[in-house]
Amino acid sequence: MSKLDPLPGLSPYPLHHFYDEMFASERSVRPHYKHVNHMFARMSPEELQAKQHLMQRRMMEEGITFTLYNPAQDQPMERTIPFDMIPRIIPKDEWGKLEAGIIQRVTALNLFVHDIYHEQYIIKDGIVPRKMVISNCYFRPEMAGLRVPGGAYITTSGIDLIRHHDGNYYVLEDNLRTPSGFSYLFKGRSLMNQLFPELSFSSSIRDVEHSINRFLSVLRSLSPSRTADPVIALLTPGQYNSAYYEHAFLAQQMGVHLVEGRDLVVQDHKLFLREMNGLKRVDVLYRRLDDDYIDPLAFDPNSLLGVPGLMNAYRAGNVAIANAPGTGVADDKAMYVYVPDMIRYYLNEEPILNNVPTYLLSKPDDRKYVLDNLAEMVVKETSLSGGYGMLIGSEASKEEQDNFRLKIVAEPDRYIAQPIMSLSRAPILSEGMMSPRHIDLRAFVLMGADRKPHVIPGGLTRVAMREGSLVVNSSQGGGVKDTWVMS
């Protein structure tokens, strides 16, 4: 740890071999961070602590929470998500490359999902193995041949990126089903504007507020009724869901209906909202629950969260569902390996952003290499997200490694592995002092009926709050930062 404005010759904090977002070396601040560093350096540790406490109080008052599920505890724990006040800053040119790479990636992924449920050219041409698609737990045969409004399968997506110690960005993961974190991006900027108006308004940074309107216009564009004012509803699993705050926030900000499955009914292959004075036709359903639960007649018959008959209304073309059912076939962690090939196949372009090197444990040679080097690997279960079902070899005990080894040998198709990447670090405030933490970036993308992806400028920087940890997921105790893109 160190004070924010180090004296000449005094190291701010140890950089080691990691790329640091703020410091170019132990004695120099990167040019795009100088204003922020100077601003925080003028404040005493007591002032900074007071601001931090005020920030947490505001978050508690506004109910900005996330629910943690710990297997060791009987009850889930709701808490305010840790928010660090030192923003993460991305220069304009750097963001330009990221934005282009993200647009390229999401465009190819959307084409892939359409292809998989129609002609399957990419399988016939031997680019992606048929077995990997057909046996994928997120593949939905019910979507075969179905026309999706506007051809936009992936209305919302969250693309996770990391910066390695070589200074380059890599795509870590694609989240294409029900990506979360939008609310923390918007509220983080709002809170920074309230607590540090002199900082945010004196810096030339891209605005994110207009993206709420873009979000609404994207949903409107999907409406099959073509009415001037389509009825939009956000389907939530309910108040006990870990991201319920976000569901309520987005519904309120966009002025759409926040509903649970019991609030909706299907009649004559049309979706309706139950209201006090009767039924109101719903044109677009932005769902925040997984495929299995949206319609007990089509998927899991035990689901009490969805709407019986919803898929019949969808097949009839009377309602749009965002994201389209079946998009998960493209964000499976094993399918991630083939995304660069999808870009070359569908767009005839070279990928702008690289994947992290990835081993498919269904392949004998990959499996042998990973098992021989487990301590140097991150192993992930292909169908899980949020940091669950994961082993970080360098942080695991020998017993944990041995247990995971048995799981891999028993069901190799369920796992992929990646070398442990040196995630870049950025300073956080801790008791008025500055301390380095590892970070990643979740970039959010919106796609409407025009199929032109819009990347929200900045995204959400996620922070591993525990010193030395590489796990940034909110579900595992991670925090967030406001992310500034210089304009």
Residue-wise pLDDT tens digits, 249-296: 999 999 999 999 999 999 999 999 999 999 999 999 999 999 999 999
Q: Is the dihedral of CA 171, 173, 174, 180 positive or negative?
A: negative
Supply the pTM of this predicted model. Answer: 0.92
CATH number of the domain where residue 381 is located: 3.30.1490.270
Whether 78 shows a pLDDT value over 70: the answer reads no
Whether 52 shows a pLDDT value over 90: the answer reads no
pLDDT digits (tens, 9 = 90+) for 216-245: 999 999 999 888 899 999 999 999 888 899
- Report which secondary-structure segment, H or E, holds 334: none
**291 in a structural domain:** no
Strand segments, DSSP code E, in 206-364 are 232-235, 257-259, 264-267, 270-275, 278-281, 284-287, 320-322, 354-355, 359-360
**340 to 169, 198, 365: CA distances (angstroms):** 15, 43, 21
Instruction: Look at residues 330, 327, 424 and name the one whose alpha carbon lies nearest to residue 382.
Output: 330
- pLDDT value, residue 6: 45
**362 in a structural domain:** yes
**140 in a structural domain:** no
Residue 446 has phi, psi (to 5 degrees) of -115, 135
Whether 449 shows a pLDDT value over 60: the answer reads yes
Whether 120 shows a pLDDT value over 90: the answer reads yes
Q: What is the DSSP string of 412-452?
A: GGGEEEEE-----EEEEEETTEEEEEEEEEEEEEE--TT--
Count of H-run helices and E-run strands, the chain: 14, 24
**421 to 126, 181, 386, 393, 473: CA distances (angstroms):** 30, 23, 18, 12, 16
First to last CA, the chain: 31
Domain limits for position 413: 358-419
**170 in a structural domain:** no
- Please state the domain count of the chain: 1
Tokens of 168: 């380059």
Neighbours of 425 (CB within 10 A): 25
Residue 246 has phi, psi (to 5 degrees) of -65, -40
Read off the pLDDT of each residue in 109-127 and give the average, rounded to a whole number. Answer: 98
Read off the pLDDT of each residue in 453-475 and give the average, rounded to a whole number. Answer: 88
pLDDT digits (tens, 9 = 90+) for 139-175: 999 999 999 999 999 999 999 999 999 999 999 999 9
* Amino acid symbol at 179: P
Q: pLDDT averaged over the chain? A: 90
**402 in a structural domain:** yes
| pLDDT tier at 435, thresholds 50, 70, 90 | confident
**335 in a structural domain:** no
